């Protein structure tokens, strides 16, 4: 399987796990807390492959492993409700980019989440963080 197909499959699985998780989740919502909760802030990470990985032949096993760890981390964050959406464009490696919309307490926590991504930490992808106003959301 080519690296581009591997990435596309991994990100498609994120989408499927989100749909399957929401369909299978029949647990009742917890009772509302009387303590005021801080407003949820949303952020957007734009992920891009580093230039050396624009050619599939340049991918090492370590690069592929980082993508697998990245995917597992996103799956876990979807399961907890932190990640709202994750995916990538379906373009050649030199043009593609990924998006992650997620919640965090503040910009420092959001930056920590981004920098803790295995692909960012291991130099497979670069990430740019943006505050994000989530206006509409599917239920």
- In a domain, residue 98? The reply is yes
- In a domain, residue 139? The reply is no
- In a domain, residue 102? The reply is yes
Burial 64-96 (b: 16+ CB within 10 A, else e): eebbebbbebbbebbeeeebbbbbbeeeebeeb
Domain that holds residue 62: 3-22+39-132
> Which pLDDT does position 35 carry in this prediction?
63
Give this prediction's pTM. 0.74
Tens digit of each residue's pLDDT (9 = 90 or more) over 49-93: 999 999 999 999 999 999 999 999 999 999 999 999 999 999 999
- In a domain, residue 101? The reply is yes
Tens digit of each residue's pLDDT (9 = 90 or more) over 8-61: 444 443 333 333 444 444 555 555 556 666 668 999 999 999 999 999 999 999
Binned at pLDDT 50, 70 and 90, residue 137 comes out as confident
Number of domains in the chain: 1
Binned at pLDDT 50, 70 and 90, residue 139 comes out as confident
CATH number at residue 78: 3.30.70.1060
């Amino acid at each position: 399987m080519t690296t581009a197909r591997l990435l596309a499959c991994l990100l498609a699985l994120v989408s499927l796990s989100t749909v399957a998780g929401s369909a299978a989740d029949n647990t009742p919502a917890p009772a509302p807390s009387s303590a005021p909760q801080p407003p949820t802030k949303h952020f957007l990470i734009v992920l891009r492959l580093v230039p050396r990985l624009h050619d599939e032949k340049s991918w090492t096993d370590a690069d592929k492993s980082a993508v697998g760890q990245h995917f597992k981390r996103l799956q876990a964050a979807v399961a907890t409700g932190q990640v709202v959406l994750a995916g990538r464009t379906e373009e050649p490696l030199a043009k593609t980019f990924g998006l992650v919309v997620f919640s965090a307490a503040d910009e420092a926590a959001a930056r920590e989440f981004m920098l803790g991504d295995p692909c960012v930490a291991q130099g497979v992808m670069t990430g740019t963080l943006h505050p994000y106003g989530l206006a509409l959301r599917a239920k």
